């Protein structure tokens, strides 16, 4: 991957962050980092929709609980774009477990637990290629660039 490669990633502001009222602060961090928001919507996932999104974790002990958590309230999936966007968004989020996340990261500041961890981000180009069309059709994504 080149240092200047333009990538897209799927970000989700999770139900716990919306319930806490920190949506605006998270979006401000995205804007301040210079990542472009190409698509966003507020949706309340069904259990089946959450299960399909996290299908890669279906054998993990936390899978059922994670799917229940993701249906507790609305979430905001977004498509972000920028140079090395996948890693830059992951750096802004911090580690999955907020207790292990670096100070100043979104999860350290706003997450409640390893499950209710405020935000999601694709972990690779391949994951983004599955996750973006899971939520957005071509016509829902601003063409960018």
Q: Is 106 in the site for ligand CMP (CB under 6 A)?
A: no
CB-facing half-sphere around the CA of 69: CA atoms within 13 A: 19
Q: Which of residues 49-68 bind ligand CMP (CB under 6 A)?
A: 57, 62, 66
Q: Is 115 in the site for ligand CMP (CB under 6 A)?
A: yes
Q: Which residues are catalytic?
A: 120
Token output for 93: 């989020």
Dihedrals phi, psi of 24, to nearest 5 degrees: -60, -40
* Dist. CA 62–CA 127, nearest whole Å: 20
- CB nearer to ligand CMP: give 134 or 142: 134
Per-residue contact string for residues 66-95; x = within reach of ligand CMP by CB under 6 A: x-----------------------------
């Amino acid at each position: 991957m080149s240092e200047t490669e333009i990538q897209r990633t799927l970000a989700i502001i999770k139900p716990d962050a919306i319930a806490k009222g920190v949506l605006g602060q998270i979006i401000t961090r995205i804007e301040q980092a210079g990542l472009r928001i190409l698509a966003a919507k507020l949706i309340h996932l069904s259990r089946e929709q959450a299960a399909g999104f996290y299908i890669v974790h279906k054998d993990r002990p936390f899978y059922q609980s994670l799917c229940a958590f993701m249906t507790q309230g609305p979430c905001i999936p977004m498509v972000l774009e920028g140079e090395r966007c996948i890693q830059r968004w992951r750096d802004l989020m911090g580690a999955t477990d907020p207790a292990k996340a670096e100070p100043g990261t979104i999860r350290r500041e706003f997450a409640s637990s390893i499950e209710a961890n405020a935000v999601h981000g694709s972990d690779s180009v391949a994951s983004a290629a599955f996750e973006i069309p899971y939520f957005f059709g071509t016509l829902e994504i601003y063409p960018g660039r």
